[in-house]
Amino acid sequence: MAGTMWIDTHCHLDAPEFDADRAAVRARAAAAGVAHIVIPAVAAGNFDVVRALAHRHGDCYALGIHPLCTGAATEEDLVLLDRALSAHRHDPRLVAVGEIGLDYFVPGLDGPRQEHFYREQLALARRHGLPVLLHVRRSADQLLKQLRRAEVTGIAHAFNGSAQQAAEFVKLGFRLGFGGTVTYERALQVRRLARDLPLSALVLETDAPDIPPHWLYRTAEERSGGAPQGRNEPGELPRIAQVLAQQRGMEPGALAEATFRNACAALPRLAAIARVTAG
């Protein structure tokens, strides 16, 4: 796959798991052919960090408040997001509002509070003319309900809903993000979706340092014996993509070209930067 270029549409390069070797992680990804990484914020406190990282490494970023962070977020954080989107509206590396969404999997979260921040951030995305990066965990129907009114598109990250829900996101113009989960033999639903959805609907991601592919995963038994959970990296994307290409019966290079094109369509500002790299 020499010369193949990939886009990791969702990577938390600012995460503390990368503090010791962040530059080396990005260099390994570049050596593997990962031309661009989209680094989403999760709270107002890391807006400046993700922007600085994107500029340092030639990548892109998104600004938003993650549903798992809404418990500590305030209305002032929404004001700060609006101001940041305005202040950097001419920055071509600001490609989306994200990571936003809903999470009904983690216990103890305030559902109505999440929904409030989700609605407000959709409105900001529409106002600023940006797509969104959506966190979708046991929340696809609720996300879709608001999206039908919001008139925004983007990427449903780490998608693991039903085929019917996937079709609804695609109908609204969304691309669906797939990553390490497709490497697990038992992830039957995700694998089926990644195999059967129209190629035009797919983008690739790692969600690094999370969702490690099976070759990095450590079981609970292994972890109880002292083995750390494997850390995912953006440099794993081409190998993950090889698994998906095999499932779809296509060459990895063709998958790279298609998902590169799809990512640029989902995140229009990325297209200009990608053309410079490709050229």
Q: Which two tokens stand for residue 42?
A: 């999760």
Of 136, 74, 139, 81, the C-alpha closest to 111 is 139
Dihedral class, residue 226 (left if φ above 0, else alpha if ψ from -120 to 50, else beta): left
Q: For residue 278, what are the CA distances in angstroms to 20, 26, 40, 43?
A: 31, 18, 23, 32
Q: What's the pLDDT score for residue 220?
A: 77
Domain ranges across the chain: 6-278
- Each residue's pLDDT, cut to its tens digit, for the chain (279 residues) gives 446 899 999 999 999 999 999 999 999 999 999 999 999 999 999 999 999 999 999 999 999 999 999 999 999 999 999 999 999 999 999 999 999 999 999 999 999 999 999 999 999 999 999 999 999 999 999 999 999 999 999 999 999 999 999 999 999 999 999 999 999 999 999 999 999 999 999 999 999 999 999 999 887 788 777 777 789 999 999 999 999 999 999 999 999 999 999 999 999 999 988 866 655
> Taking the CB of residue 218, how many other CB atoms lie within 10 A of it?
14
User: 268, 275 in Cβ contact below 8 A?
Assistant: no
pTM summary value: 0.96
Place of tokens 């039957």: 188
Residue pLDDT, tens place only, 94-126: 999 999 999 999 999 999 999 999 999 999 999
Q: Is 12 annotated as a binding residue?
A: yes
Q: What are residue 96's DSSP bridge partners?
A: 62
Q: Is 135 among the annotated ligand-binding positions?
A: yes
Q: Determine the Cα–Cα distance for residues 253 and 238; give it in Å rounded to an integer.
A: 10
Instruction: Give me the CATH topology for the region 6-278.
Output: TIM Barrel (3.20.20)
Short-list 135, 145, 133, 205, CA closest to 174:
133
Angle, helix 163-171 to helix 188-196, in steps of 10 degrees? 40
Establish whether 10 is an annotated binding residue. yes
The Cα–Cα gap between 34 and 153 comes to 24
In order of 32, 175, 245, the CA distances from 258 in angstroms are: 18, 12, 11
